[in-house]
Amino acid sequence: MTARIVSIGTAVPPARIGQDAVRELFASQPGVDRLTQRRIQGAFAASAIEHRHTVLGELAGLPAAPGGPVFLDGEGTLQAPTTGPRNALYTQLAPGLGAQAARDALTDAGLAASAITHVVTVSCTGFFAPGPDYRLVRDLGLPTTTERYHLGFIGCAAALPGLRLAARIADSQPDAVVLVVCVELCSLHIRASADPQQIVAASVFGDGAAAVIVAGPDAVRDAGGLDLDRFGTALTDEGENDMVWTIGDHGFEMVLSAEVPRIIGREIRGAVDRFIGLDTPDAWAVHPGGRSVIDRVETGLGLDPAALDASRGVLREYGNMSSATILFILRRLLHDDALPEGARVAGLAFGPGLTVESALMTKRLGARPRASTHDATQDAAAAATAVPAVAGPAVAGPGVAEPGVAEPDETNRVLAARTAPALASHR
């Protein structure tokens, strides 16, 4: 036996914003000329995104975080907080969202927090110490002896290295139960800009968290899930300067050139063939860096368009949540009844470098139904009263409810009302 994903939990902030409303917000900013407006309209129209979630409630007509920096004034003008206040808001909000996803994963696995032996946290959108790994131990009431690891500033591909680390731990300690949590608050680095690369970044990134329970061979009982068979990593021959994530004076700064999809399209076949070998995946979880990235992967690998439905669905409903995104996709595949026992699942994610991270997994059907199958935006998880499928004490009491979601029509109405005066000045 090998290490196995036995559950995946997800969480998103309450504020849900429609893509059309965000597009109009950016297009209505003071000083935006017609060329920039065309670039904004084009980038948002091509994104294949309908909604995203954000911790910046003011973007959705909700109250801003108490004591936090101002991102949007009463006239609908985007402000430019410095990096310190942005990072302070990350410190305030990221731990709670990560803990929400972790509780969902624990409920789904039928586990109490005391079963966790190791914690791996992943994030590239903020820093603090003691960090997210420490906060999970405190917030979830994990044993103070829990081993902790943090993978920071790796970018969108980082979830797969997080799973790889969990698998290595479980392989060396077969009774280990590892909690992996990715939490990304990308919208904290929002800014108005005429730079085409910043416009593309503004059109795709959203906020979210995902948590995975990885159990070692001796900890797995009758749990279903995804066996973590093997991992791969590769650097492309080009692209070191085409996807870059740095710390600026007014938030973190993203370089995301138009070459990224083209580089991925040229090199994906070789990278995947070297990793997959003679295996033939039955399903694909591909990080949706953007619609053009998914299109290039589909073409480069000669896939049927339906093979990337789960990736496109997550992009459409949540946008690019950096490292957490691929775990939202894997959750869908984990709960997809059309995928039978033994189905092979390939995971691909892309990060600065350009780096291609890969994982090959096998679906296993458990002897019991899962405690919950809801997505991050659905309301309550079922009570975890079944006998746990992973070694450890069972959870007592009700399941964990996900955050509420602002109604999209109301969100868009409020945001449109706030940007209407500025929009009128550009017409």
Tokens read off for 3: 């290490």
Q: Does the annotation mark 124 as catalytic?
A: no
CA 259 to chain centre: 23
From the list 124, 156, 182, 186, the catalytic residue is: 156
**DSSP 8-state code for residue 57:** G
Decide: helix, strand or coil at residue 192: coil
Decide: helix, strand or coil at residue 196: helix
**DSSP 8-state code for residue 72:** B
Cβ atoms 209, 97 nearer than 8 A: yes
HSE-up of residue 416 (Cα within 13 Å, Cβ side): 10
Mention every residue, 6+ apart, whose C-beta is less than 8 A from residue 213. Answer: 5, 6, 7, 8, 105, 106, 108, 109, 111, 177, 178, 179, 390
Angle at 17 between CA 406 and CA 257, to 5 degrees: 155
Q: Hey, what amino acid is at 50? A: E
**The tokens 């050139």 sit on which residue?**
257
CA proximity to 178, closest of 144, 226, 216, 229: 216
Burial 110-123 (b: 16+ CB within 10 A, else e): bbbbebbbbbbbbb
**The tokens 């992996």 sit on which residue?**
180
d(CA 201, CA 18): 16
d(CA 421, CA 416): 9
Decide: helix, strand or coil at residue 179: strand
Residues assigned a catalytic role: 156
